[in-house]
C-alpha cells in the first residue's frame, strides 16, 4: 500500500469518527435533556404518599368490615380519634416533651463522646490499639441485657435512662467516624505535604472534610438508636414519657393509644432524620453521587 493510500484512509477515518456532540441527532439530545431534568417537589411528595395511603385505605376497609378484631387492630379512624383526645387533654404534649428531652440529652452525651473517641482512634494508631478492642466488645452488648444492671446501679431515675440512651448513641457515631477517617485517600496526604500543611491543617482541611459523609451517616444512625434506647428505657421503668404511655395503654387494652405512641415515635424519628439529611445536602454539595 502506497503512502498516499494510507493518508487517504486515515483522512476518511477522521471524517467518519465525529465527536459525540456532532453525531447525536436532535431527538437524542432532547432525550438527554429530559432525563437530566429533575421532577418537581410536589410529584416527589405524591410518590411518597402512594404506599402509606394505599395501606391506610385497605386497613380502614378491613377494620370496618370486621375481618379483624378492633381490640387487636383498630382502624385508622379510631387511632385518629384517640390521637385527638390525647391532644385535647394535653396528655400527649406532656409525655412527648419529656421523651424528647431525654432523647436529646442522651444523644448529645453519647454522640459527642462517640465523635470524640472516633476522631482520636482514627487519627492516632496507639489510641486505637488501646481503646478500640474494648469499645468493640461493649458495642455487642444489647440494650435489654444491660438495662437491668443500669437500674440496679442507678435506679429508675432520669440518670439511668439518659445513660442508656447515650450508650446506644455512642457506637454508630464512633464507628462511622473511625471508618471515615481511615478511608481517606492516602494520596491526599501527599498533596498536603506538597502544600506544606501542618498537622492541624491536615485534620481540618483534609481529614474531616473527606470523612464528613461517614460522620453524617453515623449521626443519622445515632439518632435512630437513641430513639430505640429511649423506648427501652421508658418501657422498662418510667412514670412519664411516650414509652410509659404505650405500656399504660397496653395494660388497659387501649390498642388505639398504643398505635398513637408508636406513630409518635415514627414521626418524630423521621423528622429528626430529615433534619440531618438537609444538613447533608448543605455540607456535601461538593460530592457527586448517584441519585438513581
Q: Residue 175, Cβ neighbours under 10 Å: how many?
A: 22
119-124 long-range contacts (CB < 8 A, ≥24 apart) are 119/177, 119/181, 121/174, 121/178, 122/177, 122/178, 122/180, 122/181, 122/182, 122/207, 122/211, 123/181, 123/203, 123/207
pLDDT in the model for residue 289: 60
pLDDT in the model for residue 288: 64
pLDDT tens, the chain, 292 aa long? 444 443 444 344 434 444 444 444 444 444 444 444 667 777 777 788 888 889 889 988 888 888 888 788 888 899 999 999 999 988 889 889 999 999 999 999 999 999 999 999 988 888 888 898 999 888 888 877 888 888 888 877 888 889 989 998 999 999 999 999 888 887 777 777 777 777 777 777 788 888 888 999 999 999 988 888 888 888 777 778 888 888 888 888 888 999 999 999 888 888 888 888 888 888 887 766 645 5
Question: Are the C-beta atoms of residues 121 and 131 closer than 8 Å to each other?
Answer: yes
pLDDT in the model for residue 190: 76
Give, in order, the Cα–Cα distances in Å from 71 to each of 140, 245, 257: 37, 17, 11
pLDDT in the model for residue 109: 94
- What does pTM read for this prediction? 0.74
pLDDT in the model for residue 112: 94
Amino acid at each position: 500500500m502506497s503512502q498516499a493510500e494510507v493518508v487517504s484512509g486515515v483522512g476518511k477515518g477522521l471524517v467518519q469518527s465525529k465527536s459525540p456532540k456532532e453525531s447525536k441527532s436532535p431527538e437524542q439530545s432532547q432525550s438527554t435533556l429530559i432525563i437530566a431534568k429533575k421532577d418537581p417537589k410536589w410529584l416527589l411528595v405524591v410518590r411518597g404518599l402512594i404506599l402509606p395511603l394505599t395501606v391506610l385505605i385497605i386497613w380502614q376497609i378491613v377494620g370496618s368490615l370486621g375481618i379483624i378484631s378492633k381490640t387487636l387492630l383498630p382502624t385508622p379512624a379510631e387511632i385518629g380519634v384517640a390521637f385527638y383526645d390525647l391532644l385535647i387533654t394535653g396528655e400527649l404534649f406532656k409525655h412527648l416533651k419529656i421523651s424528647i428531652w431525654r432523647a436529646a440529652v442522651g444523644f448529645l452525651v453519647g454522640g459527642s463522646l462517640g465523635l470524640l473517641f472516633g476522631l482520636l482512634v482514627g487519627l492516632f494508631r496507639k489510641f486505637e490499639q488501646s481503646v478500640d478492642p474494648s469499645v468493640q466488645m461493649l458495642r455487642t452488648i444489647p440494650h435489654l441485657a444491660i438495662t437491668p444492671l443500669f437500674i440496679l446501679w442507678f435506679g429508675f431515675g432520669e440518670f439511668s435512662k439518659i445513660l442508656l440512651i447515650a450508650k446506644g448513641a455512642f457506637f454508630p457515631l464512633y464507628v462511622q467516624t473511625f471508618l471515615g477517617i481511615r478511608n481517606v485517600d492516602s494520596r491526599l496526604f501527599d498533596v498536603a505535604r506538597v502544600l506544606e500543611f501542618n498537622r492541624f491543617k491536615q485534620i481540618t482541611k483534609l481529614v474531616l472534610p473527606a470523612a464528613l459523609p461517614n460522620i453524617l451517616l453515623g449521626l443519622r444512625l445515632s439518632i435512630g438508636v437513641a430513639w430505640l434506647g429511649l423506648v427501652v428505657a421508658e418501657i422498662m421503668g418510667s412514670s412519664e414519657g411516650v414509652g410509659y404511655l404505650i405500656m399504660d395503654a397496653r395494660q388497659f387494652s387501649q390498642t388505639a393509644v398504643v398505635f398513637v405512641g408508636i406513630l409518635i415515635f415514627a414521626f418524630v424519628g423521621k423528622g429528626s432524620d430529615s433534619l440531618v439529611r438537609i444538613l447533608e445536602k448543605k455540607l456535601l454539595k461538593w460530592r457527586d453521587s448517584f441519585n438513581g
